Amino acid sequence: MSAPDARKKGRFDVSFTLMLPLLLAAQPVATDSYLPALPAIAKELGSASTSLTLFVLAFGFAQLLCGPLADRFGRRPVLLAGLGCYAVAALGGAFAGSVALLAGWRTLQGFSMAAILVCSRAAVRDLYPAHEGPHVMARGLTGLGVVGLVAPLLGAWLVQGAGWRWVMVAMALYASVLFALCWHAFGETRQPLTGESSAPRGSTRAVFASRSFRAWASVAATTYGGLFCFLLLSPMVYIGYLGWSPAWYGWIPAGGSLVYIFSTTMCRTLLRRYGPVRTVRLGASLSLAGPVIQALGCLLLPLSAVPLLVGHAVYCLGHGIHQPCGQAGAVGDLPHLAGRAVSWSGFGMMMVAFCVGQLAARFVDAGYSNGAWPMVLPMLLAGCVLMAIAFFWLPRLQHPQPPSHPSPPSKEPAP
């Protein structure tokens, strides 16, 4: 059984490498392509941020359900169910006639998105050893960046040329193609548990007992929290405050994705050369430098987009370094609980993003009296926290190895 499985796994590995970026990219398809549509949705239905907020909430909480399901029933059935519901929800949102209906469909889409990301990230840990995880995630996130580059541009063009509803139709088509691809090419990756039909008891406690999980999940949550504030508030800053058109605005997240592609590629080189801790230290420095540039722009050139754009690009450089390391590192020590570790890491990312985003959105009014500060300050805070994690927390994870060397002598006399 093991030989055929190994042969099958080697054959599947190639197709999974190609599918991973497309699966991870279902998130920017659902968010980045949606951003240029927010003003049009607000004009037609009366509100835009509610649907995005509920999407993020559903995405966060649903991961806590999808992780255990993926550990118990396998990655393939949960993934296919998620892709099917994603397509149905997007199509339903395209025909929504009210804010409540749109918010409901987007909530379902958030649940579906959770299943897709949890299973794809858990499959990485199923197929690759822990030390290869960051490299594999970096490759996958590079592909995500390529789709993220196209998504806001396509969304902006669809909004201006055909209306915001066609953005939702495009999401449904994307998910349908992915469903067909995974139906034929995605095999089960979860390793069967010996003598048990489900994950061991106390598994959630075991996840949080891992010091490595807590540290690396904090990296992923912090960097995403800063980026989400940009995603949530940048349409109001650039379109509302600075007066850009939706088509011009679409180039901003697209440009960020282009930088992200470069930085995830650079992350693989840095990991090989310096290791994860020193790599994240460099990323943290960039994550702080970007918002500092933006803050100086808000003080000295409040009506100029140049410091905001430059600062966003620098922050995206750091973000592209943090995410492969944070997402893979959070699961590295927990191969038998990959689904749960991924789900709790993803839940933390969404909760940090939601809380910080909702707090920052309170400072955006109809007259944009606070300028770009509601978008910039959360990113500045994220940069400071990432510096603290990179320079004070992550290095301590390397110190348990020395204690583990003296511990065997102390345990030998005991027996």
35-44, 77-86, 91-100, 340-349: which has the highest mean pLDDT? 77-86
Query: Average model confidence (pLDDT) for the chain?
Result: 84
Q: What is the pLDDT of residue 99?
A: 83
Question: Across residues 298-326, what is the average pLDDT?
Answer: 94
| Tokens 């749109």 found at | 102
Q: Which pLDDT band holds residue 307 (cuts at 50, 70, 90)? A: very high
Q: What is the pLDDT of residues 128-155, one digit of tens each?
A: 887 788 878 888 888 777 877 788 778 8
Mean pLDDT of 260-271: 90
* pLDDT of residue 399 exceeding 80: no
pLDDT of 194: 54
What is the spatial distance between Cα 42 and Cα 235, in angstroms, rounded to a whole number? 12
Q: Where does the pLDDT of residue 374 fall: very low under 50, low under 70, confident under 90, or very high at 90 and above?
A: very high
pLDDT greater at residue 345 or residue 255? 345
Q: Which of 55-59, 208-212, 350-354, 395-399 has the lowest mean pLDDT?
A: 395-399
Q: How confident is the model at residue 105 (pLDDT cuts 50, 70, 90)?
A: very high
> CA torsion angle for 225, 226, 228, 232 (degrees, to 10)?
130
pLDDT mean over 19-23: 88
pLDDT class of 315 with cuts at 50, 70, 90: very high
Give the pLDDT band of residue 192 (cuts 50, 70, 90): low
Averaging pLDDT over each range in 46-50, 125-129, 210-214, which range is the top one?
210-214
Percentage of the chain lying above the pLDDT 70 cut: 89
* Residues 263-272, mean pLDDT to the nearest whole number: 91
pLDDT for res 74: 87
Whole-angstrom Cα distance, residue 395 to residue 256? 29
154-172 burial by CB neighbour count: b if 16+ within 10 A, else e?
bbbbbbeeeebbbbbbbbb
Give the DSSP letter of residue 200: P
Residue type, 298: C
DSSP string, 222-243: HHHHHHHHHHHHHHIIIIIIS-
The pLDDT confidence band at residue 354, using thresholds 50, 70 and 90, is confident
| Calpha distance 163→324 (Å, rounded) | 35
| Confidence tier at 1 by pLDDT (50, 70, 90) | very low
Q: Between 338-361 and 49-73, two packed helices, what is the crossing angle to 10 degrees?
A: 170
Does the structure show a pLDDT above 60 at 402? no
Round to whole Å and give the CA distance between 207 and 71: 13
pLDDT above 90: residue 202: no
pLDDT of residue 201: 52
For the chain, give every domain's residue range: 12-187+207-399
pLDDT at 193: 58
Average pLDDT over residues 324-344: 85
User: What percent of the chain has a predicted confidence (pLDDT) above 90?
Assistant: 40
Task: Write down the pLDDT at residue 67.
Answer: 86
Homologous superfamily (CATH) for 12-187+207-399: MFS general substrate transporter like domains (1.20.1250.20)
* CB neighbour list of residue 404: distance below 8 Å, 6 or more residues apart: none
Using the predicted structure, report yes or no on whether residue 198 has a pLDDT greater than 50. Answer: no
Looking at the predicted structure, is the pLDDT value of residue 48 above 60? yes
DSSP-derived secondary structure letter, 198: S
DSSP assignment, residue 394?
G
pLDDT at 50 over 50: yes
Q: Is the pLDDT of residue 13 over 60?
A: no
pLDDT of residue 154: 84
